[in-house]
Amino acid sequence: MLALFGSVEQGIIYAIMALGVYLTFRVLDFPDLTVDGSFVTGAATAAMMIVLGYNPLIATLAAVIAGFIAGCITGLLHTKGKINPLLSGILMMIALYSINLRIMGMTREGGAGVSNVPLLNTDTIFTMFQNFWGSLGIDDTISNMLREMGVESVPTTYGTVLVVLIITIIIKFIADWFLKTEVGLAIRATGDNKRMIRSFSANTDRLIILGLGLSNALVALAGALIAQYSKFSDIQMGVGMIVIGLASVIIGEAIFGTKTIVRTTFAVVAGAVIYRMIYAFALRVDFLDTGDMKLITAFIVILALVVPQIIDKQKEKKRKAKRMAERNAAHIPAPVEQGGNPLA
């Protein structure tokens, strides 16, 4: 129960990263691998600034800006440097590895490459909120209620889940709004049909750069929040982040559908939380180790990609069989299968 509560809190933070991944992979149709690097950039920037004594809010804002810049550079590599999307992202990810070590190195004198910055006795966004939240005494009220209902182990606070929920919901609504503005429509069209949007006087290069910047700004925000949540920033914390983001998007879309933008962004957020819960359950399995999680994540993504195809095929087969059966029952000879008329 407690482990599950923690994974919900984390899932809600990772949802911000998943929204960033959704923006590139789905909206822009750009498989951006910068994410593994920009997530750490966000964490490193926030941790470094907090350690240096900056207000956690300002540190988090700086992390967002750093992520935005990183994404824009990936966009520049692709649009101006004519480098293939995957390679642009990989190059940026590798470059960020060194940059992230440097950023964390700024916490120590002469520390060029520091791979871990702890945030033990420092303020974070969460402790700041806790100071205010704790004084309200709501935690005790809820916990007592739960205990009366027979729940044994209760979380120490509900403040954290509330903050992350508020932040994530605000970002979801901003994303919904943005994707319906004139610029947002142009970004979506860039992912959908570049030739078309160019013929309507949109500079696709600029839109791709902007889209990548915004996406990585969200990823870096998630990194900054995770660093403050888990009270450290580490050079390894971004490994496989892109696959986790993708897993969240795919799981969410498969369960909740993609009918409208509002629905899809909700699906992505929910997908991220569900992914974290699956992760928590998998860790409970005795023969599995934390190190196996990347394998499990890859497995989840493969499953989420393959299973819908199989289901579709099965449905198609059933439909065909049903039609043939109806036809045979009516004694009508089956007509020659015709190619789908694209104009019909």
Partner 1 sequence: MLKLDRINKIFNEGTPDEKIALDNINLRLAPGDFVTIIGSNGAGKSTMMNMISGALMPDFGSVTIDSNDVTRLPEYKRAHFIGRVFQDPMAGTAPAMTIEENLAIAYSRNQKRGLRFGVDKKRRDFFRTSLERLHLNLENRLTAKVGLLSGGERQALSLLMATFTKPSILLLDEHTAALDPSRADLITKLTKELVEADNLTTLMVTHNMQQALDLGNRLIMMDKGQIILEVSEDKKPGLTIPDLMTEFEHIRGEKMNSDRALLG
User: What are the residues binding partner 1 (CB under 8 A)?
Assistant: 178, 180-186, 188-189, 192-193, 195-204, 342-344
Residues 6 or more apart whose CB falls under 8 angstroms from that of 180 comprise 261
Residue of 228, 231, 121, 212 whose CA lies nearest to 167: 228
Region of 50 please: left (phi>0), alpha (psi -120 to 50) or beta: alpha
Handedness of CA 160, 12, 28, 342 (dihedral sign): negative
Q: Please identify, using beta-carbon distances, which residue of 22 and 126 lies nearer to partner 1.
A: 22
Please report how close the Cβ of residue 343 comes to partner 1 at its closest, in angstroms.
4
Q: Please identify, using beta-carbon distances, which residue of 165 and 261 lies nearer to partner 1.
A: 261
Please report how close the Cβ of residue 204 comes to partner 1 at its closest, in angstroms.
7
Could you give the dihedral angle defined by the CA atoms of residues 249, 254, 258 and 259, in that order, rounded to the nearest 10 degrees?
A: -170
Helices 35-51 and 56-79, axial angle in degrees (round to 10):
150
Q: Please identify, using beta-carbon distances, which residue of 196 and 311 lies nearer to partner 1.
A: 196
Sole residue written with tokens 């997908």: 271
Please report how close the Cβ of residue 183 comes to partner 1 at its closest, in angstroms.
5
Please report how close the Cβ of residue 317 comes to partner 1 at its closest, in angstroms.
24
Please report how close the Cβ of residue 188 comes to partner 1 at its closest, in angstroms.
6
Q: Please identify, using beta-carbon distances, which residue of 14 and 266 lies nearer to partner 1.
A: 266
Q: Please identify, using beta-carbon distances, which residue of 150 and 342 lies nearer to partner 1.
A: 342
Residues 6 or more apart whose CB falls under 8 angstroms from that of 292 comprise 282
User: Are the CB atoms for 304 and 248 separated by under 8 Å?
Assistant: no
Distance CA 179, CA 268 (A): 15
Please report how close the Cβ of residue 26 comes to partner 1 at its closest, in angstroms.
9
Q: Please identify, using beta-carbon distances, which residue of 180 and 294 lies nearer to partner 1.
A: 180
- Phi/psi at 104 (5° precision): -70, -25
Determine whether 314 is exposed, middle or buried from the number of CB atoms within 10 Å of its CB (0-12, 13-18, 19+): exposed
Please report how close the Cβ of residue 181 comes to partner 1 at its closest, in angstroms.
5
Rounded alpha-carbon distances, angstroms, from residue 161 to 6, 42, 236: 9, 20, 25
Q: Please identify, using beta-carbon distances, which residue of 202 and 251 lies nearer to partner 1.
A: 202
Could you give the dihedral angle defined by the CA atoms of residues 188, 224, 111 and 242, in that order, rounded to the nearest 10 degrees?
A: -50
Please report how close the Cβ of residue 190 comes to partner 1 at its closest, in angstroms.
9
User: Are the CB atoms for 124 and 57 separated by under 8 Å?
Assistant: no
Q: Please identify, using beta-carbon distances, which residue of 135 and 201 lies nearer to partner 1.
A: 201
Please report how close the Cβ of residue 254 comes to partner 1 at its closest, in angstroms.
18
Q: Please identify, using beta-carbon distances, which residue of 108 and 180 lies nearer to partner 1.
A: 180
User: Other C-beta atoms within 10 Å of 311: how many?
Assistant: 11
Length of the chain: 344
